[in-house]
Amino acid sequence: MKKLVVLIIATVMQFICFAQTDYKQIRVSDDIELIQLSENAFVHVSYSDLPGFGRISSNGLVFISGNEAFLFDTPATNTLTKELVTWLADSMKLKIVGFVPNHWHGDCMGGLGFLQDQGITSYANQMTIDIAKTKGLPVPDHGFKDSLQLQLGDKQIMCYYPGAAHSLDNIVVWIPSELILFAGCMVKSIEFGNLGNVADGNLKAYAGTIDKLLLKFPTVKIIIPGHGAVGGLELIKHTRELSAK
C-alpha cells in the first residue's frame, strides 16, 4: 500500500512539474499523453497497471525530423504502442523509422513486437539483445557495444552505454541539436526518494555510472527520466546522491 501511495504522489507531481514549466500537453488517450519539449522533441507518457504497484506512468521520447521520427522506449504493451504510433501517423503525419530501447524491461521495449510487425528497424545495446534472447522476448535488430551514432534527416542521435546502474544494460540517448538527454530509469526524477527497482541492476556500479553522465553531458538542457517529471542537471545530481546512500 505504501508503494502505491508513493507512485500516486509521483504521478501527481509529474503533472505539477510539467505545468510549472509550461510545456504543451497533448492527450492522445486516457492512457497516453505527449509533452512537447521543443519543436522536434516530445516525451510520450503512458500509463499501465503493474502488479503489486498499481497504475504507473512511464516516459519515452519521440524525436522528429521532417515527417520522420525515432522512438525511444515504447509504452509497456503492444496495444499501447500501436495506439501511440497510429496517433502519430494520423494526427502528426509522422512515420516512425527507428527505435531504441533504454534497456530490456517491459516499460522500455514492451511494444517491440508491434514495431517489428510494422517493419520498423530497432537498435539496442548488445547486452539488451543478449538478455532478450535468454528471456524469450522480441529481439532488437542491430546491436552496439559502447556507442552508436544514428542519423535522422540532418540531425544526430548519439547512443551511449555508460555502465550498469538500474539494469546491467541501460543506455542513454543524447540529442545534441536539442540538448536533450534521454536517460531512462537510471536517472530519478526529483520527487523520487530512492533508486527504485534495482533487482536487475548493480548498486556497486551505480554511482560511478552516474558520475560518467555528469562528466559527459555538462551542457545538457533537459533530462528525461524513465518515470516522473523532466528536469535538468539536478536530476543527475539527485540520482548521484541517492546512489551514495
Residue 2 appears among annotated catalytic residues: no
Per annotation, catalytic residue among 166, 169, 170, 238: 166
Residue 197 appears among annotated catalytic residues: yes
Residue 108 appears among annotated catalytic residues: no
Residue 185 appears among annotated catalytic residues: yes
Per annotation, catalytic residue among 40, 73, 78, 103: 103
Residue 238 appears among annotated catalytic residues: no
Per annotation, catalytic residue among 31, 73, 169, 227: 227
Per annotation, catalytic residue among 3, 67, 133, 197: 197
Per annotation, catalytic residue among 40, 44, 169, 188: 188
Per annotation, catalytic residue among 59, 102, 105, 125: 105
Per annotation, catalytic residue among 78, 107, 108, 170: 107
Residue 227 appears among annotated catalytic residues: yes
**Site of grid cell 556507442:** 147
Give the active site residues.
103, 105, 107, 166, 185, 188, 197, 227
